[in-house]
Structure 1
Amino acid sequence: MSFQNFEQPYPQPTSQTVLPQIQDQPSRVSGTKRAALGSFGDPTHARHNLTSAASPSVSIASSASPANVLPNGSAAENQYTPGHASGSPAAKRFQVPRACERCKRLRRGCSEYRPCRRCVDAGVADQCQVTAVGPQLNGPGQGNDAQSLHQRLSDLVPARLVDYCTQRFFDRLHPTIPILTMEYVARLRAASISPEGLESLAVLVGMCGQVLLQTEEPEELFQQGVIPEKNLAFGRLLLDTAIAAYQIMPRRSVVSIEMCMFSFFLYACEAVLFHHSRAFRFLRETTTLVLLFRPEEADDTTQLVANRLFWVLLISERSHAIRYRRPITLQITNATPSIDAGDSSLVGFWSLAALFRPIDTSFIALLNHEELAIGPSPESINHIETKVNSALSPGLDLRDTQKANLRVTQLWLRVIIWQLRLHLGYLVEESYQHSLTYRYPIDVAKDLMLSTRDLSPPAFKVHGVGLTEKLFDIASALVDVLARIPLNSTSPRGVAMGTLPEDDLLYLRNLIRKLPGGQTMFDDLLEKHIQQSVPALATRRPNISSPSTLDARGQLGTRGGH
């Protein structure tokens, strides 16, 4: 295989591989080993150059993330009277803005996405914004004191809703983000009854918001009259109200674990809705609060919750940093909270933590092209790769949701390490260590197909858009490799398994289309990337409506048209 036709140094996009709406960036790689590599190898590069219109006054976005297709409901303003569903007297009406400012000014209909179709067609997607962040909590005759704020939040989350969302959290979300315990939830509910427990009530509101936005359950709560709108719409209302409350809640000099948890749930909700810049803001605020929190002064339950929150944040921050090229703040030191590895229910979570342990500050600095006094050595990257490869022990008793997250994340990190080696000029055409070769994404895609074909789409969906982005990164790297090798070429391993690399690509696309943001954003980006890089594969688009797309072995069967 020859790579002599790579004309530009990585990661400068070429005309063959650039994704739609991507703005070129100056190349930050030099050296004779990389002079002929082109844009080959960085599947995340496409996500860091799109203009963001996901939220007001933000600039970061991802071409492969639904930050650009945020559903915001209808053009009309949505009004809801809190307290109505729970039988209490009607309170003031909350108004949640829906239409973007440009469509309001022009008095034109606005679509439910951000940026809306009208702004996109006019070429002003970056101006598609909604001014208000959330509903205004202080109306005529109403103050922002703790008692009135407590009453308004209480009206939104009746006991029946909290019961349901607590159960759904422990069933669906707890295996991945085990930051709550039943004892701690009981404490929150007891404290939330009085205005003095405003922070505890806020945590429950945030938890309910994440459950309604992320678990994608049937609309039984709406049908039973527990909530006045469907899950997604009411989850957005909870988030908007929670953010407005967060902005006016009194701040204590001593940080409480409840404020840490509340801020985390705001981050989680914003991430579900593809508000990546807002999510980063709350993620950074949460890490700051956790660093200021003093667990040694707390009781055992609070310390347990704080320790788990630290590790959830460490994983979230490092994953976010890789996907959006952000710096990190949390580090693993001698003072880092220990993990109770003896708890068998958390074995999947500790495996996830083990995957991100070696992704330290120096690794993130390399990904961000930070100027370092001492450059990295091949041995140091080999050490990180070894840690990632050994993080998942065989034979673990895991749920399907944990299997999906762990398997995809491990393979994604392998691609990230491969990108870094490509950037540093450490790749070769042939090596006994496959991860040192240009073809390595072919092996990664093969492993992903073999290790996930027995899992159903709901096992992936519960993890939200973050997992979809990881799959897109792997698929994009595979497209870059296929653009540089003959299409009839495959590895001996692929021949033995009876599939070609392009079949694995179709499997990936089929899976991506079933996940959050897949059909609205990721698959279209991937299709355009394929059209520009490997036109011969552009017509082989999967048809997810056909049950024969994948046969019993996970191989591609009947394929849909382009």
Structure 2
Amino acid sequence: MNQDETQFPEQPSKRLPKVRQACDCCHARKIRCDGQNPCSNCQMTILACTYLAVPKKKGPKGKRVFRDGAKEGKRVKKLRMGQGNSKVHTSPPNHQTNRTRMPSESTEGIITEENGFKPSALITDAVITSCVDAFFTHKYPIMPILEHESVNAALPNIRQSPERYALITSLCAGIVQQPEIIASPIATAYGSQEIPLLELPASEHFIQETVRARQYCNYIDSPTLETVQTSFFLFAALFCLGKDNSAWFYIREAMTVLQLLRLHEEDTYQNLAEPYATYSRRTFWLLFITERAYALQRHRPLTLQRTISLPTVSPGPESIILSGFLDLVSLFQNFDDEFLSLWNLSTTVGASSGSSASPQSLIQLQDILKFAIPNVSQRTEVQQADLLISRQWLKTMVWQLCVTKGLLSSAPSNEAMSFQYPVTIARDVVFVSRNLSPKALEANGVGILEKIFDIGCSLADVLQLQPNHMYASAMEIGPRDYLMEMVRLLSIGRNSLGVQGAAGGINGGEKFLRLLARKAEDCLNPRISRGSLSDSDESRCIEEIDDDENLENGIEDAINKTERPGYYSAPPPPWSSSKKIVRRNDVWST
């Protein structure tokens, strides 16, 4: 034995165990991974070790080449930059993987059940349970489409079912955008666990997980009711994030799958067992309501019509919730294709203002909205907030259509056809907000903030063009106070919905607050032209439009201007709202 063999004895060869899948970073760096979580390579380079990539079919192995240290350093730097500024793709997925493959096609990159599904480690049992509990506590009264007992029974095994996992993660994607409704700490079957709000996964991560999980189930060729509900929850989450194109895609996908299942046909329900038939019917009507609200907000066409019967209200603990749900249907069912055609045409460039809209039909619609929910006081507080604000918002939409069609008058026979009708609408909104707890408004999310914003903008447009209507007597609450209250309501919504918004830019509450604050600032402060003006010149800059035609054109221009982005400014200083509102004989005073 020579000296070298004495100093360096031969070690027995130890073959490294075969790793089924390398982590994402090692795969990108093209180095061997030990398969641990985190792996040793990611620990050494301080990278986030994840296993989110879908394994591909292995091909022929080539010869190993010498690795350039400089190139390897660039790869690590690029991975760090990508993890620090990662962007989640929330656009509609490519469904190429779900089509039937021809025998001659390669299977590389095609997702199959054999690969297995690995849920995200960030979405823990405690996070899921807290989000589900928050949904049934705060959201279920306005979205009664899931059975509480069935969902809770399925939670321990959802990771073995990609379809159910996708349903729950899509639900969570909307809930985490409202951290104020998530209870913490929580007592669950997994023990009492405290979930700091800052440790909740971002809504975009839940959306990404939903899209990834759906790739493991053939939900297009073999759809279920859960497929419809998952698409709806994706719509709700993306709508709150301000991703309108993706939100529109998923609401249309939900309605398309519902029609594939023929759940829009009454005959289908004759062969469905309970409770599947009950929740299928509720899902149809929730989509019916949501589509109409979104069509008014974004000027979209309608798909669903009144083709099935309404859910029946049976005595029991859910009778109040279901009655409130039917009240919401009664508000939106009168906004049909005829109204939406006029509404969408009103924004078309060059559209004729003298279309087939008749004052009598719109007055009748306003009267229907006025008396649509006579028993609203018997509903849950969350439902009351949704019903009462939605009713005033729908009145505002009808009024705006009257503006674009030239149907308003300075001396109308019906108040709904006057230029000052937004003052009455705003007054009722203020009354509603003062009689409901902030929690009831918070539970409805950014959707109710957008409705308050639309009402406030219509009020601001009227006050800006008719400043003489701004002030009331010293003993009464007037339009100026209503507008300030609208800004205050949006500031409350901004504060309650601000945690998730920080991750994804300006959230809905912040955006609406800034837009309305800018309009309110223009109304409440004198409008001064650029340059130095004397007192007499400044007074002449305050316009007073008395002519009906000029006033109508001015309001229409203001409404159209509100729809354009870019009207952002810092919020004005907080206004005091210490006046107490009392309603006596339809007169509000302090």
TM-score range (shorter-chain normalised) is 0.5 to 0.7
Q: Distance in 2 between matches of 1:235 and 1:524?
A: 23
Give the 3 Å change call, closer, same or farther, for CA 278–554 of structure 1 in structure 2.
farther
Once the two structures are superposed, the pairs formed by residues 82-101 of structure 1 within 5 Å of their partners are 92-94=50-52
Q: 1:172 aligns with which of 135, 138, 160?
A: 138
Q: 2:163 aligns with which of 195, 199, 204?
A: 199
Structure 1 residue 419, shift from structure 2 partner: 0.8
Structure 1 length-normalised TM:
0.67
Partner of residue 291, structure 1: 259
Runs of 4 or more above 6 Å deviation: 81-84, 107-112, 221-229, 370-374, 537-542
Partner of residue 21, structure 2: none
Once the two structures are superposed, the pairs formed by residues 441-452 of structure 1 within 5 Å of their partners are 441-452=422-433
Q: 1:312 aligns with which of 286, 292, 301?
A: 286
Q: 1:259 aligns with which of 210, 222, 227?
A: 227
In structure 1, list runs of 5 or more residues that go unmatched. 1-80, 85-89, 96-103, 113-128, 556-562
Structure 1 residue 318, shift from structure 2 partner: 0.7
Q: Distance in 1 between matches of 2:115 and 2:124?
A: 16
Partner of residue 420, structure 1: 401
Structure 1 residue 179, shift from structure 2 partner: 0.8
Q: Given that residues 228 and 234 in structure 1 are in contact (C-alpha distance below 8 angstroms), is that contact kept between their aligned partners in structure 2?
A: no
Partner of residue 119, structure 2: 152
Q: Distance in 1 between matches of 2:37 and 2:280?
A: 33
The 10-residue stretch of structure 1 (442-451 or 248-257) with the greater mean CA deviation from structure 2: 248-257
Give the 3 Å change call, closer, same or farther, for CA 202–82 of structure 1 in structure 2.
farther
Helix, strand or coil: the match of 1:549?
coil
Q: Given that residues 320 and 379 in structure 2 are in contact (C-alpha distance below 8 angstroms), is that contact kept between their aligned partners in structure 1?
A: no
Partner of residue 461, structure 1: 442
> What is the identity, as a one-letter code, of the residue corresponding to 1:276?
D
> What is the identity, as a one-letter code, of the residue corresponding to 1:367?
W
In structure 2, list runs of 5 or more residues that go unmatched. 1-34, 39-47, 54-76, 98-107, 495-506, 529-568, 584-590
Q: Distance in 1 between matches of 2:199 and 2:418?
A: 47
> What is the identity, as a one-letter code, of the residue corresponding to 1:144?
I
Q: 2:201 aligns with which of 233, 238, 254?
A: 233
How many residue pairs get matched? 431
Partner of residue 269, structure 1: 237
Structure 1 residue 91, shift from structure 2 partner: 8.3
Q: Given that residues 356 and 388 in structure 1 are in contact (C-alpha distance below 8 angstroms), is that contact kept between their aligned partners in structure 2?
A: no
Helix, strand or coil: the match of 2:119?
helix
Q: Distance in 2 between matches of 1:282 and 1:454?
A: 35
Q: Distance in 2 between matches of 1:83 and 1:379?
A: 68
> Relative CO higher for 1 or 2, CA cutoff 8 Å, sep ≥ 6?
1
Structure 1 residue 349, shift from structure 2 partner: 1.5
The 10-residue stretch of structure 1 (239-248 or 404-413) with the greater mean CA deviation from structure 2: 239-248
Identity of aligned residues (%): 25
Q: 1:522 aligns with which of 509, 512, 515?
A: 512
Give the 3 Å change call, closer, same or farther, for CA 379–259 of structure 1 in structure 2.
same
The 10-residue stretch of structure 1 (524-533 or 428-437) with the greater mean CA deviation from structure 2: 524-533
Helix, strand or coil: the match of 2:468?
coil
Q: Given that residues 163 and 213 in structure 2 are in contact (C-alpha distance below 8 angstroms), is that contact kept between their aligned partners in structure 1?
A: no
Q: Distance in 2 between matches of 1:171 and 1:450?
A: 25
Which string of whole-angstrom CA distances, capped at 9 and with x for unpartnered residues, describes residues 50-98 of structure 1?
xxxxxxxxxxxxxxxxxxxxxxxxxxxxxxx9999xxxxx983459xxx
Q: Given that residues 238 and 247 in structure 2 are in contact (C-alpha distance below 8 angstroms), is that contact kept between their aligned partners in structure 1?
A: yes
Partner of residue 417, structure 2: 436
Helix, strand or coil: the match of 1:386?
helix
Q: Given that residues 411 and 444 in structure 1 are in contact (C-alpha distance below 8 angstroms), is that contact kept between their aligned partners in structure 2?
A: yes
Q: 2:303 aligns with which of 329, 338, 343?
A: 329
Partner of residue 500, structure 2: none
Q: 2:535 aligned with 1:507, yes or no?
A: no
Helix, strand or coil: the match of 2:144?
coil
Structure 1 residue 204, shift from structure 2 partner: 2.1
Q: 2:316 aligned with 1:353, yes or no?
A: no
Q: Distance in 2 between matches of 1:344 and 1:401?
A: 12
> What is the identity, as a one-letter code, of the residue corresponding to 1:523?
L
Give the 3 Å change call, closer, same or farther, for CA 541–189 of structure 1 in structure 2.
closer
Give the 3 Å change call, closer, same or farther, for CA 93–290 of structure 1 in structure 2.
same
Structure 2 length-normalised TM:
0.64
Partner of residue 70, structure 1: none
Give the 3 Å change call, closer, same or farther, for CA 382–231 of structure 1 in structure 2.
farther
Helix, strand or coil: the match of 1:473?
helix
Helix, strand or coil: the match of 1:536?
coil
Helix, strand or coil: the match of 1:327?
coil
> What is the identity, as a one-letter code, of the residue corresponding to 1:173?
K
Q: Distance in 2 between matches of 1:441 and 1:483?
A: 12
**Cα RMSD (Å):** 4.1
Q: Given that residues 543 and 549 in structure 1 are in contact (C-alpha distance below 8 angstroms), is that contact kept between their aligned partners in structure 2?
A: no
Q: Distance in 1 between matches of 2:116 and 2:235?
A: 21
> What is the identity, as a one-letter code, of the residue corresponding to 2:231?
S
